[in-house]
């Protein structure tokens, strides 16, 4: 089998399973999310050490507002705690932080914390961490179209490259590897446009338990994939007709 020796430039992660992790310990779901933040801080450094340039993580989906109020407000509060607790360390570790998602529905406090996280790490380049919060792949496509129309883009100017420039992740290459923890095998509205040719890796591991062994397993699986992008298998000889 042909292999793909490279490290993925961009890894996307659906950090799922926090609630189940907590329930197994008879703890409230928000406790699982708290552990999930710690797992994320560890994962950022581990991916950076392995040469990954972009790490984009799904922290709160457009649909997660359906959850009970105390969980939603717990998650919002946790973002503020996480920024206060970890931003200085991340900045010192060379992490550039960005947030993508609909900021119009979150509190001013949260918007300010994100702006602070982005501006205080803007000079960093060891790894680009993007936190998708109040994000959905469909939201992203809609906001891209809306902004293009607002800019007066004419119909004949619309092509894939143009829309990609209006997407929330326009600064990053498309994800090469898409990881979902927690055992569900679905996309749940994450990076719909960008994942067209991502390699998928699903693991039963719950996000708070996701560690360097799991990261290495995902990267190893990625190396075994033959990425064709619509072409033919790399090892297949091209036979001339006739
Ligand atoms: C993922 O964990 C984190 C968020 C959606 C905020 P879940 O909270 O979905 O955990 P499970 O899937 O219920 O275990
Ligand atoms: C996806 O997980 C969203 C995040 C991890 C932030 P969900 O737990 O919300 O997805 P579903 O509901 O199982 O599809
Ligand atoms: Mg879940």
- pLDDT digits over 17-58, tens only? 999 999 999 999 999 999 999 999 999 999 999 999 999 999
Residue 219 has pLDDT above 90, yes or no: yes
> Best substitution site from 35, 38, 182 to test ligand 1's pocket, by max atoms within 8 Å of Cβ?
182
Q: Which domains does the chain have, with CATH numbers?
A: 10-135+175-223 (3.40.1180.10)
Ligand 2 centroid to residue 62 C-alpha, Å? 10
Residue 131 has pLDDT above 80, yes or no: yes
Q: Residue 150 belongs to what H/E stretch?
A: helix 137-150
Confidence class for position 218, pLDDT limits 50, 70, 90: very high
Q: Is 128 part of the annotated catalytic residue set? A: no
Q: What is the number of the ligand closest to the CA of 184?
A: 2
Report pLDDT for 237.
Answer: 77
Catalytic residue among 4, 64, 124, 189: 64
Report pLDDT for 3.
Answer: 54
Q: Which residues are near ligand 1 (CB < 6 Å)?
A: 15-20, 29, 33, 60, 64, 75, 182
Report pLDDT for 4.
Answer: 67
Residue 221 has pLDDT above 90, yes or no: yes
Instruction: For ligand 2, atom 8, name the residue with the nearest CA.
Output: 16
Query: What's the whole-model pTM score?
Result: 0.96
Residue 1 has pLDDT above 50, yes or no: no
Record the tokens describing residue 37, joined without a space: 């933040």
Q: Is 16 part of the annotated catalytic residue set? A: yes
Record the tokens describing residue 213, joined without a space: 């062994």
Instruction: Please list, in sequence order, all residues whose beta carbon lies within 8 angstroms of the beta carbon of residue 157, skipping any fewer than 6 positions away.
Output: none
- pLDDT digits over 193-214, tens only? 999 999 999 999 999 999 999 9
Gap between the Cα atoms of 8 and 88, Å rounded: 27
Report pLDDT for 109.
Answer: 96
Instruction: For ligand 1, atom 1, name the residue with the nearest CA.
Output: 16
Atom of ligand 1 nearest to the CA of 21: 14
Mean pLDDT of 117-136: 98
Instruction: For ligand 2, atom 11, name the residue with the nearest CA.
Output: 188
- pLDDT digits over 151-169, tens only? 999 999 999 999 999 999 9
Integer CA distances (angstroms), 18 to 64, 135, 196, in order: 13, 18, 27
178 C-beta closer than 6 A to ligand 2: no
Gap between the Cα atoms of 149 and 146, Å rounded: 5
């Amino acid at each position: 089998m042909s292999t793909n020796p490279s490290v993925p430039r961009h890894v996307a992660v659906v950090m799922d399973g926090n609630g189940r992790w907590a329930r197994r310990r008879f703890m409230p779901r928000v406790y699982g999310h708290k552990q999930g933040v710690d797992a994320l801080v560890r994962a950022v450094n581990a991916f950076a050490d392995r040469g990954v340039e972009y790490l984009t993580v799904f922290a709160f989906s457009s649909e997660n507002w359906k959850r009970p109020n105390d969980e939603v407000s717990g998650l919002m509060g946790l973002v503020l705690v996480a920024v206060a607790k970890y931003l200085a360390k991340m900045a010192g570790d060379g992490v550039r932080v960005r947030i993508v998602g609909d900021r119009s529905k979150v509190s001013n406090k949260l918007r300010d914390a994100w702006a602070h996280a982005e501006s205080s790490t803007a000079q960093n380049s060891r790894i680009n961490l993007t936190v998708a919060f109040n994000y959905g792949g469909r939201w992203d496509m809609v906001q891209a179209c809306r902004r293009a129309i607002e800019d007066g883009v004419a119909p004949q100017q619309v092509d894939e490259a143009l829309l990609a420039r209006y997407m929330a992740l326009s600064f990053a290459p498309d994800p090469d590897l898409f990881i979902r923890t927690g055992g569900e095998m679905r996309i749940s509205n994450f990076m719909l446009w960008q994942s067209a040719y991502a390699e998928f890796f699903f693991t039963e591991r719950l996000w708070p338990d996701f560690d360097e062994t799991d990261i290495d397993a995902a990267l190893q699986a990625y190396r075994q994939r033959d990425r064709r992008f619509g072409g033919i298998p790399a090892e297949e000889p091209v036979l001339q007709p006739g």
